[in-house]
């Protein structure tokens, strides 16, 4: 099996409000590591409060990568994430340090550890699919998928429009069933067995309570002012990908006069609770070398000892 990267790598994975940021910074202060953010919202410039982005003061003296790399009027996808990750890891290795991938974007973490099929994309075909949906409805596309690839039709989440569109796009481009393409060898990035995968967790009720307190802090810190400034500077609206991030989507609706502040807050909290539920489900899909309850996150010695042991194994 060929892997794109053949060097030590550490992954810190956990749900929202579990203490990943504080733990990673504490580790980076005492170990030869640099932090790579695995978060699809922290990449955006100016989106600081609503993403709970580590402050410049917190990042002082600790190299962070994949933060503030894209303006919020641009899209950010898996392809760009992998491109920026490659750039970051080259820089980290040049500094003779180890990458610590930290974040709750579970799909991105999974891709780095498990690999991905490098399926093609075609903007013209995507536009044609959008036209088909507009003229005939989504059921037209679902019927097409059922007729040309029944196995994918039965396994895919038909309520997830983006996944249905992407499946049909790949099939139209390649002329091959997606179910067949998925059986081909994937592109591999890291050897899971040679990585150190750490988990940080907590009870769902505790995470929700912490998330609600954090949301209250965001409002007090001025997320509405931040959002209003971003909206003016980049001419943002609800159609921009960045404005569909949790907190920004809900509070933008308030700024646009569609919902009250109280309603926006509750909707943001509900979205966060759903995210936590999804992330906790994702956590079951990872094989952790070590995990820690966030209630004891101040005791970073557990992870420090594990990381030191891991790094020594590469220096023998």
CATH number of the CATH domain containing 206: 3.40.50.300
In 3D space, the residue among 29, 7, 25 whose CA is nearest the CA of residue 96 turns out to be 7
CA distances from 190 to 19, 104, 129, 181 (A): 25, 18, 34, 22
Q: Check whether 21 is labelled as a binding-site residue.
A: yes
Point out which residues pair with 65 in neighbouring strands.
36
19 is in an annotated binding site: yes
Print burial letters for 5-36: b (CB count within 10 Å at least 16), e (below 16).
beebbbbbbbbbbbbbbbbbbbbbeebebbbb
Q: What integer pLDDT is reported at residue 211 of this predicted model?
A: 97
Q: What is the rounded average pLDDT of the residues 261-282?
A: 97
pLDDT number for residue 316: 54
Name the domain boundary from 141, 157, 181.
181
pLDDT of 208 over the 60 cut:
yes
pLDDT at 298 over 70: no
Q: Model's pTM, two decimal places? A: 0.88
pLDDT of residue 62 exceeding 70: yes
The confidence band for 1, taking pLDDT boundaries of 50, 70 and 90, is confident
Residue 299, pLDDT score: 54
**Is the residue at 4 inside a domain?**
no
Alpha-carbon 38 to chain mean position: 5
pLDDT at 25 over 90: yes
Q: Do 200 and 276 fall into the same domain? A: yes
Same domain as 18, residue 102: yes
231 and 302, same domain (yes or no): yes
Q: What is the pLDDT of residue 293?
A: 85
How many domains would you assign to the chain?
A: 2
Q: Do both 110 and 127 map to the same domain?
A: no
Check whether residue 208 and residue 134 sit in a common domain: no
How does residue 161 score in pLDDT terms, banded at 50, 70 and 90? confident
- Is 32 labelled a binding residue? no
Q: In what order do the strands lie in the sheet with 33-37?
A: 64-65, 33-37, 98-103, 10-13, 196-201, 290-293
Among 164, 181, 198, where does a domain finish? Answer: 181
pLDDT reported for residue 238? 95
296 domain residue, yes or no: yes
pLDDT value of position 29: 92
- What is the residue range of 66's domain? 10-116+187-314
93 CB burial (10 A radius; 0-12, 13-18, 19+): middle
Alpha-carbon distances, residue 80 vs 92, 135, 172 (angstroms): 18, 31, 23
Is 104 annotated as ligand-binding?
Answer: no
- Is 302 marked as binding a ligand? no
Residue 167's domain is classified under what CATH number?
1.10.20.140
| Whether residue 287 is found in the same domain as residue 208 | yes
Residue 297 has a pLDDT of: 56
279-299 mean pLDDT: 85
Q: What is the pLDDT of residue 301?
A: 74
| pLDDT confidence band for 91 (50 / 70 / 90) | very high
pLDDT digits (tens, 9 = 90+) for 226-270: 999 999 999 999 999 999 999 999 999 999 999 999 999 999 999
């Amino acid at each position: 099996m060929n892997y794109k990267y053949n060097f030590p790598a550490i992954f810190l994975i956990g749900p929202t409000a579990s203490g990943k940021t504080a733990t990673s910074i504490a580790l980076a202060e005492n170990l030869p590591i640099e932090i790579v953010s695995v978060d699809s919202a922290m990449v955006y410039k100016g989106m600081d409060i609503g993403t709970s982005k580590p402050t410049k003061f917190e990042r002082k003296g600790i190299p962070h990568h994949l933060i503030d790399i894209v303006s919020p009027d641009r899209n950010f996808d898996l392809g760009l994430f992998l491109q920026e990750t490659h750039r970051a890891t080259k820089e980290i290795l040049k500094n003779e340090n180890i990458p610590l991938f930290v974040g709750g974007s579970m799909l991105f973490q999974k891709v780095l550890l498990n690999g991905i099929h490098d399926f093609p994309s075609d903007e013209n075909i995507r536009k044609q699919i959008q036209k088909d949906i507009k003229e005939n409805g989504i059921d037209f596309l679902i019927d097409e998928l059922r007729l040309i690839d029944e196995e994918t039709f039965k396994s895919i989440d038909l309520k997830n429009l983006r996944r249905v569109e992407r499946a049909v796009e790949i099939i139209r481009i390649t002329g091959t069933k997606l179910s067949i393409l998925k059986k081909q060898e994937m592109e591999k990035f890291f050897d899971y067995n040679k990585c150190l995968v750490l988990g940080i967790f907590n009870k769902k009720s505790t995470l929700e309570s912490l998330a609600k307190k954090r949301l209250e802090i965001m409002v007090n810190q001025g997320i509405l002012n931040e959002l209003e400034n971003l909206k003016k500077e980049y001419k943002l609206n609800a159609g921009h990908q960045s404005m569909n991030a949790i907190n920004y989507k809900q509070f933008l609706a308030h700024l646009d006069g569609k919902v009250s502040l109280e309603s926006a807050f509750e909707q943001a909290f509900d979205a966060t609770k759903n995210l936590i539920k999804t992330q906790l489900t994702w956590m079951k899909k990872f094989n952790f070398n070590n995990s820690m309850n966030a209630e004891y996150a101040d005791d970073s010695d557990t992870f420090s000892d594990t990381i030191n042991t891991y790094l020594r194994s590469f220096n023998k």
